[in-house]
């Protein structure tokens, strides 16, 4: 395109004026530094953020000295016997058990250390758990002999239609099984995380920190990448999509939901002196059963940090203070007590946990699993009755309709196909009293109906799949043979507890072997 002289002069003038304006703007005080600072801040934020793994290590490097500086520095509490299994009955509560013996000086020492830790985490804004914002997922911890049980539970999770990602925490590299972690789990949107890789990266060999057993739960949630966490034990599985729990009250209003155990809360009076909390009535709530657990890392940062403190010093001090030898002593009471001490809200499901199993000769139940119920339906029922629960607990609601069953915790014994058919377990879930084959879950009938579908049939289908497709893969099964065959030959004779048609064991086994039993109905 040709330009005449006039047009060219005009364009040159415009370009000159633009350059002059830009030059003068750069001379304005602060303008160039503003550009420089903006670039610097952006670069700095990007560098400080780093990868998730780097941020986790930095966080642990900051938290560990705070944990160590707030050590109890006194002898472990002495327990005079155990409290035993005392069932929870809000209408007829017993006296709070007192089995712990401590010197007053030791109580004061632990109180000061507890206050020091709580003050430090309150006053240090940067000391906060690491997570990826706006993420949600399910967290497990399992390894060794529990890995096959986890694989079965994971497949039960996917049967519900849940698409939540899963993080499986392993204690250390000895529990990392490449075939399972690299090939089997990714297909099910799950990945392995080695906890020791985080803990050991931030410390020297001389100050190695070992976390094991009951401590794993708190540390797995502390280092999970998810903002909203559904915790599920390896031997527990949902009957419905757990993401629904994260979308509704009571979780959306509190950010933390727990479920009850069969037993009374046996937190010791000494713990309340140490935490400087008032001693609640023993009828307030049952003890916690943390096979399933919901928590927001965004809204319950102090709770997670204090629960970590309780678990870090759990084996030496806090586990006995919080349970006094009651059934399941370990991490189970650390989360509710941490939330109470931190002043962060939580909701405890009031619908009592129910055992399921089969009848013994004396008519009592041989319970091999426990059932927990839907907090959404419970909460809606409470609102409908205009009895909104208080900030930290829901009242007993036995007069309301029972919510639907939501979780099955198959814990006694673990339904590992390599061991579950043994005749040595206390409950013998696969046998009738006369030694013949039996379904595991026949009673309580009303509870089983609340499943909404034949959950035991579905469970055996997944046990069969894991036994027959991964028989040679798990390290804990390396010295065992015939796991698939034993499992198939001992599958249940009649697969519907309320079905009048009795299927023969041979017919049912044939259907299982030839994959002619279709999966149970999907649930939402």
| The predicted structure's pLDDT at residue 206 | 58
Tell me the per-residue pLDDT of 475-484, one tens digit each, with 9 for 90 and over: 999 999 889 9
| The predicted structure's pLDDT at residue 490 | 58
8 Å CB contact between 132 and 226:
yes
Q: Any idea what the CATH number is for the domain that residue 153 is in?
A: 3.90.550
8 Å CB contact between 142 and 220:
no
8 Å CB contact between 244 and 136:
no
Q: Report if residue 453 sits inside a domain.
A: no
**What is the rounded average pLDDT for all residues in the chain?**
85
Q: How many domains does the chain have?
A: 1
Q: Report if residue 524 sits inside a domain.
A: no
Tell how far CA 496 is from the center of its chain. Answer: 31
Tell me the per-residue pLDDT of 214-265, one tens digit each, with 9 for 90 and over: 999 999 999 999 999 999 999 999 999 999 999 999 999 999 999 999 999 9
8 Å CB contact between 400 and 460:
no
* Radius of gyration of the chain measured on its C-alpha atoms: 28
3-state SS class at 10: helix
155 confidence band (pLDDT: 50, 70, 90): very high
**Cross-strand partners of 295:** 229, 256
423 confidence band (pLDDT: 50, 70, 90): confident
Q: Report if residue 330 sits inside a domain.
A: yes
Which DSSP string do the residues of 413-465 spell out, in sequence order? TB--TTTTT-S-SSS-TTB-TTSSB--S--B-HHHHHTTSS-HHHHHHHHHHH
**For the chain, how far is it from start to end, CA to CA, in angstroms?**
67
85 confidence band (pLDDT: 50, 70, 90): very high
Integer Cα distance of 340 and 344 in angstroms = 6
| The predicted structure's pLDDT at residue 31 | 34
Q: Report if residue 285 sits inside a domain.
A: yes
Tell me the per-residue pLDDT of 268-327, one tens digit each, with 9 for 90 and over: 999 999 999 999 999 999 999 999 999 999 999 999 999 999 999 999 999 999 999 999
Q: What does residue 298 show for φ and ψ, rounded to 5 degrees?
A: -70, -45
Q: Report if residue 199 sits inside a domain.
A: yes
182's tokens: 């690299």
| Pairwise pLDDT comparison (152 vs 517), residue with the higher score | 152
| The predicted structure's pLDDT at residue 435 | 84
The four Cα atoms 458, 461, 465, 471 give a dihedral, to 10 degrees, of 110
Q: Report if residue 120 sits inside a domain.
A: yes
8 Å CB contact between 245 and 376:
yes
| Pairwise pLDDT comparison (31 vs 347), residue with the higher score | 347
| The predicted structure's pLDDT at residue 433 | 86
Q: Report if residue 152 sits inside a domain.
A: yes
Integer Cα distance of 487 and 74 in angstroms = 51
**Cross-strand partners of 365:** 359
| The predicted structure's pLDDT at residue 399 | 54
512's tokens: 């299982």
* pLDDT at residue 485 tops 90: no
438-461 average pLDDT score? 93
516 confidence band (pLDDT: 50, 70, 90): very low
Strands 292-296 and 256-258: antiparallel
Q: Report if residue 132 sits inside a domain.
A: yes
Range of the domain at 72: 52-348
Inter-axis angle of helices 104-123 and 301-312, nearest 10: 140
Q: Shortest CA distance to 514 belongs to which of 459, 456, 461?
A: 461
Integer Cα distance of 342 and 302 in angstroms = 6
Integer Cα distance of 303 and 10 in angstroms = 69
Tell how far CA 107 is from the center of its chain. Answer: 31
Question: Which ranges of 184-278 does DSSP label H, i.e. alpha helix?
Answer: 185-187, 195-201, 216-223, 243-246, 251-254, 269-275
Percent of the chain whose predicted confidence (pLDDT) is above 70: 80
372-381 average pLDDT score? 97
| The predicted structure's pLDDT at residue 356 | 97
């Amino acid at each position: 395109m040709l330009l005449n002289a006039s047009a060219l002069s005009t364009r040159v003038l415009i370009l000159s004026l633009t350059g002059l304006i830009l030059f003068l703007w750069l001379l304005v005080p602060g303008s160039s530094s503003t550009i420089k600072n903006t670039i610097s801040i952006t670069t700095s934020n990007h560098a400080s953020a780093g990868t998730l793994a780097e941020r986790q290590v930095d966080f642990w490097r900051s938290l560990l000295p705070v944990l160590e500086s707030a050590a109890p520095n006194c002898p472990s509490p002495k327990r005079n016997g155990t409290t035993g299994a005392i069932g929870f009955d809000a209408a007829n509560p017993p006296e709070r058990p007192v089995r712990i013996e401590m010197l007053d000086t030791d109580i004061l020492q632990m109180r000061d250390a507890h206050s020091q830790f709580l003050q430090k985490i309150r006053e240090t804004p940067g000391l906060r758990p690491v997570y990826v914002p706006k993420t949600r997922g399910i967290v497990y911890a399992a390894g060794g002999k529990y890995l096959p049980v986890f694989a079965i539970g994971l497949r039960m999770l996917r049967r519900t239609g849940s698409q939540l990602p899963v993080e499986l925490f392993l204690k250390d590299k000895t529990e990392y099984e490449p075939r399972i972690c690299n090939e089997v789990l990714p297909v099910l949107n799950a990945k392995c995380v080695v906890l020791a890789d985080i803990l050991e990266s931030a410390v020297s060999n001389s100050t190695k920190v070992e976390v094991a057993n009951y401590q794993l739960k708190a540390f797995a949630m502390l280092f999970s990448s998810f903002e909203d966490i559904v915790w599920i034990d390896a031997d527990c599985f949902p009957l419905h999509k757990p993401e629904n729990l994260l979308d509704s009250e009571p979780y959306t209003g509190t950010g933390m939901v727990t479920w009850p155990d069969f037993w009374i809360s046996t937190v010791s009076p000494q713990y309340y002196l140490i935490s400087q909390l008032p001693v609640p009535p023993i009828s307030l709530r049952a003890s916690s059963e943390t096979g399933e657990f919901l928590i927001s890392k965004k809204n319950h940062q102090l709770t997670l940090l204090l629960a970590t403190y309780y678990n870090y010093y759990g084996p030496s001090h806090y586990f006995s203070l919080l349970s006094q030898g009651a059934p399941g002593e370990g991490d189970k009471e650390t989360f509710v007590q941490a939330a109470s001490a931190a002043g962060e809200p939580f909701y405890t499901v009031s619908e009592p946990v129910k055992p399921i199993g089969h009848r013994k000769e004396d008519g009592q139940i041989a319970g091999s699993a426990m059932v927990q119920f839907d907090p959404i339906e419970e909460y809606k029922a409470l609102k409908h009755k205009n009895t909104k629960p208080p900030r930290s607990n829901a009242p007993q609601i036995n007069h309301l309709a029972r919510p639907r069953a939501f979780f099955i915790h198959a814990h006694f014994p673990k339904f590992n196909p390599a061991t579950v058919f043994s005749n040595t377990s206390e409950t013998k879930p696969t046998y009738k009293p006369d030694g013949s084959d039996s379904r595991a879950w026949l009673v309580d009938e009303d509870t089983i109906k609340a499943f909404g579908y034949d959950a035991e049939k579905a469970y055996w289908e997944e046990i069969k799949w894991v036994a027959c497709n991964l028989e040679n893969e798990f390290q804990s099964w390396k010295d065992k043979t015939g796991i698939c065959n034993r499992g198939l030959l001992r599958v249940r004779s009649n697969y519907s507890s309320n079905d009048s048609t009795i299927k023969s064991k041979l017919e049912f086994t044939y259907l299982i072997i030839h994959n002619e039993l279709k999966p149970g109905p999907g649930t939402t």
